Amino acid sequence: MAYNYFSIQSGTAESEGSSRLESKQHALVQLTNDLTAYHPNAVLLFGSMARYLAGYSLDAVPGDVDILMVGNSVPFAVVSKDYGCDIELHIFKNEVIINIAKSLRYDAKPIALSKLYSKVVLKNHSRDIIAACLLLGPEYNDFGIEQIEVDSLIDRRDYSAHKILYGEKWWWYLSEYARERRGALKGFSDKIVGRYEFEDWKQVKIACEKGDDIACSKI
Q: What is the pLDDT of residues 131-168, one digit of tens each?
A: 999 999 999 999 999 887 767 778 788 999 999 999 99
Higher pLDDT, 211 or 162: 162
SS3 state of residue 194: coil
Domain regions of the chain by residue span: 3-181, 184-219
Output the average pLDDT for the chain: 88
Q: 120 or 167: which carries more pLDDT confidence?
A: 167
Report the 10 Å Cβ neighbour count for 13: 6
- Angle between helical axes of 168-179 and 127-136 (0-180°, round to 10): 90
Architecture of domain 3-181: 2-Layer Sandwich (3.30)
Provide φ and ψ at 40, rounded to 5°: -75, 160
pLDDT confidence of residue 60: 72
Report the pLDDT value the prediction gives residue 218, as an integer from 0 to 100.
72
Question: Span 25-48, mean pLDDT?
Answer: 95
Q: How far apart are CA 35 and CA 16, in angstroms?
A: 27
